[in-house]
Amino acid sequence: MDAFSSNWSSGTLKNFRHISPVVQTHLKQVYLTLCCALIASAVGAYIHILWNIGGYLTTFACLGTIYWLLSTPPYEEQKRVSLLMASAALQGASIGPVIDLAIQIDPSVLVVAFVGTALAFACFSGAAMLARRGEYLYLGGLLSSGLSMLLWLHFASSIFGGSTALFMFKIYLGLLVFVGYMVFDTQEIIEKAQLGDLDYVKQALTLFIDFVAVFVRILVIMLKNSAEKSEKKKKRRD
C-alpha cells in the first residue's frame, strides 16, 4: 500500500510538472476570473430575488452578451471581462427562480448544492491537471453525443410532453455530461495554453458554464428529494 501511494504521488507530481510555469500562471488567472464570474452570478440571483427580473428575457440577454463577448477581439481585454461579468450576472438572474424556490423550501439545500458543486469542480479539475497530457480529450466525442441527446430529448418533450421520470432522466444525464465537461474542458484549456492560446476570459466562460450547469442540476435533484421527504412526513402525520 505504501509503495502504491509513493508511486501514485510521484506519478501525479511528474504529470503536474508537465504544465509549464507560464501555463500554471495562466490557469491561476482563469480560475480567478471564474471566481469573479461566480460572484457576479450570485449578485444577479440576488437582484432577481429583490425585483423578480429573472426569466426568458435575462436568458436571451445572457446569450446575446456571450455572443458579443466571443465576437470581441482578444486585445479588448477590459471590454471582454466586463461582458463576462455581465453575462454571469444575467445567468444568475436567469436561474434566480430556482434559487428563490430553494430558499423558500429549505435554504440549507442551496448551501449544500453549492458546496457540493464546488467540491466536484475542484476534484475533477484537479484530476484533469494531474493526469497525463491529453488523457481525457477523447471524452469530447462522447460528451458531444450526450449533449445532443439532451437537446433532442428537450425538443421531443416540448412537443409531445414529458413525464416526471423523463425530466429526472434529463437532469441526471445532464449532470453526468457536464461533470465530464469539467474534466474535458480543463485539459483542453491546458493543451491550448501549451500551444500559446492564453485567452483566459473565454476559458473562464467555458468553466463558468460547466459550473452553473452542474450546480442547477444538483440543486434540482436535492429539491426533489427534499419535497419527497416532506410528503412522506405529512403522510405519516396523517
Where does the chain show beta strands of DSSP type E? none
Sorting pLDDT into bands at 50, 70 and 90, what band is 1? very low
154 lies in some domain: yes
Query: How many folded domains does the chain comprise?
Result: 1
Domain hosting residue 143, numbered range: 2-228
Question: What would the pLDDT profile of 13-54 be if each residue is shown by its tens digit?
Answer: 555 557 889 999 999 999 999 999 999 999 999 999 999 999
235 lies in some domain: no
Specify the 3-state DSSP secondary structure of 76.
Answer: coil
236 lies in some domain: no
Question: What would the pLDDT profile of 92-146 be if each residue is shown by its tens digit?
Answer: 999 999 999 999 988 999 999 999 999 999 999 999 998 887 788 888 999 999 9
78 lies in some domain: yes
Residue with cell 466571443: 70
pTM of the model: 0.92
pLDDT exceeds 70 at position 9: no
237 lies in some domain: no
20 lies in some domain: yes
User: Which long-range CB contacts under 8 A does 107-116 form with residues at least 24 apart?
Assistant: 109/219, 109/222, 109/223, 109/226, 110/219, 112/222, 113/215, 113/218, 113/219, 113/222, 114/215, 116/218
Task: Tell me the three cell numbers of residue 85.
Answer: 461579468
211 lies in some domain: yes
- The b-or-e profile of 7-46 (16+ CB within 10 A means b, else e) is eeeeebeeeeeebeeebeebbeebbebbebbbebbeebbe
